[in-house]
Structure 1
Amino acid sequence: MTHPILALRSALRARLTADAALVSLLGGERIWDEPPRGSDPPYLTFGEAVARDWSTGSSSGREHAFTLVAWSRQGGDAELLALLARLEELCADPALVLDGHRLVLLRVVGQETGRPDKTGLRRAVIRLAGLTEPL
């Protein structure tokens, strides 16, 4: 069985790359675990992920906390905020099919933008929370 974090990421990646509006904002299907060397923004990366047990006496499952990170080279936040707005729409409790698991809940729990890092890139983070159960 696929690990629930990988199953959730895979299903979410499929949903995001199937969205024409998001793909247009990114200039292609630019959603990676880690960007290929030399990639120019904008693009998205999967950030940190945590899965905790939320099993009960009668069922098992995992509670997830994870992030998607949008990267930009533009001077302001406009490009990043447009990406965050579209991501929030796409992640608002979607009906995702996961390999070996059932998605019980997915919701956006926070967003933040950051100043340029040492490479000159700006970033924005969307924080997600989810619940999965094994099939």
Structure 2
Amino acid sequence: MSTATAALRAAIHDALTTDTALAAILGGAKVYDEPPRHADFPYVTLGEARVSDYSAGDETLQEHQLTLHAWSRQGGHKEAHMITGALLQALDDAPLSPDGHQLINLRFSLADIRREADGRTYHALVRFRAVTEPA
């Protein structure tokens, strides 16, 4: 993973753990890189990251495709949709400041909400696209 991706993930984590609307839905700042073994539902995890060169001319740019996962066991799809909406409100076009890098943009790209095979857990995959350059 690039240093820009690590810095961007840290900035996203900070933004989400301080977002009061998301915390109200989750019942606290339950945003994890790796969830605790017996994490209480609902919660959000930082997921996969894909980085590619997005340079143009003399500009050194990186494109990041980041996935967040929301996990719920209450209220059917409704809670998963509410968490997804809170993630979009908190992050879409957010003015984050990743350490050592400048965020050009951060935009929502896709959400997929489904019931897991256990029949109880709802899982939302929420993907964002970001572009960064060195500061």
**Fold conserved between structures, TM > 0.5:** yes
Question: Does residue 36 of structure 2 align to residue 20 of structure 1?
Answer: no
Residues in 1 aligned to 2:49 and 2:118: alpha-carbon distance in whole angstroms? 24
Question: The residue matched to 2:129 in structure 1 has which SS?
Answer: strand
1:9-36 CA deviation, whole Å, 9 max, x = no partner?
A: 1111111111111111111111111210
- SS for the counterpart of 2:41 is coil
Aligned twin of 2:30: 30
Q: Show the counterpart of 1:127.
A: 127
Aligned residue pairs total 134
Structure 1 residues 1-135: aligned runs within 5 Å? 3-74=3-74, 76-118=76-118, 120-135=120-135
* CA distance in 1: counterparts of 2:97 and 2:132, whole angstroms: 11
Q: Secondary structure at the match of 2:5?
A: helix
**Aligned-residue RMSD, C-alpha:** 1.4
Report the CA distance between 1:57 and its aligned residue.
2.5
Identity of aligned residues (%): 40
What is the TM-score of this pair, normalised by structure 2?
Answer: 0.93
Q: Unpaired runs of 5+ in structure 1?
A: none
| Partner SS for 1:68 | strand
Code of the residue aligned with 2:85 in structure 1: it is A
Question: How far apart, CA to CA, are the structure 2 residues paired with 1:31 and 1:71?
Answer: 11
Aligned amino acid, residue 19 of structure 1: D
Amino acid paired to 2:133? E
- Counterpart CA distance in 1 for 2:37 and 2:133 is 36
* Distance across 1 between alignment mates of 2:39 and 2:84: 20
Is the deviation greater in 110-119 or in 72-81? 110-119
